[in-house]
Amino acid sequence: MYETILYELSDGVAVITMNRPEKFNAFTEKMNKEITDALKQAQKDPEVRCILFTGAGRAFNAGQDLGDVQGGAVDFGGFLRNRYNPMILQFQKTEKPIVAAVNGVAAGAGMSVALACDIRLASDKASFVNAFVNIGLVPDSGGCWFLPRIVGIGKALELAMTGEKVSAEEALRIGLVNQVYPAERFQEEALAYARKLAALPTRAIGLIKRTMSRGLEMGLEETLEYEAFAQEAAGSTEDHREGVAAFMEKRAPRFQGR
């Protein structure tokens, strides 16, 4: 079905794997489009309760494949608007938890895509490089939006201006990633983490994601009103009723994502 990525569904988790290991999973136009389509597929599928996003081989993603843009002047603005912006927006529009399993280097747009995910897990062999400045460019693919919100403006400016590599340990210290696992068991730990999220009330998580994202752009009064709207929607779900019943009956809830 896909040429540049793999898509597998198991135990409620859709695993999307960027699959160009010989090129360190660098982006091409086809990969941008296939990732966008895969996210839409996962959003529509009621069997998908969580998305795990990772890379094949030794890298997570090394950024744009420069071989894919050779041959004449590049319209950088049009390039981003056509290829990357729709993909990044789809990460935000997908109202299911998206976990980045950063198995190796995440550089340039590869780092930006990891930032666009809701939660980041890293192998202890992983690293992050905001590499744009090294070729005289500006962080794109949402890098200027996500990074300061995740690590703060001061650290974000330092990482963007210097282009220095960040180790997994340092990424954890500054809040760039949520968890770090040993490389030898990284895949199983990341999948176990995703499965835990897949067992939670999916629609409530989608509403949490949407409300927090909007809250970043709204004042307190607007956010309080949007929380009330979101709570009305969450309160009408089967999972809410199951959660209350489980609490009253002193048992573990069995959420179905409905």
For the stretch 150-161, pLDDT in tens is 999 999 999 999
Task: Give CATH 1.10.12.10 domain extents, the chain.
Answer: 202-248
Query: Looking at the domain that runs over 5-198, which CATH code has it been given?
Result: 3.90.226.10
**Residue 19 Cα distances to 1, 24, 57, 72, 114, angstroms:** 13, 9, 8, 27, 16
Reported as a single tens digit per residue, the pLDDT across 69-121 is 665 577 888 889 999 999 999 999 999 999 999 999 999 999 999 999 999 99
Span(s) in the chain for CATH 3.90.226.10: 5-198
As its CATH architecture, domain 202-248 has Orthogonal Bundle (1.10)
Q: Can you give the length of the chain in residues?
A: 258
* Residues in the chain, pLDDT under 50: none
Q: Does the CA dihedral 63-68-71-77 come out positive or negative?
A: negative
pTM: 0.93
What pLDDT is recorded for position 20? 97
pLDDT at 40: 98
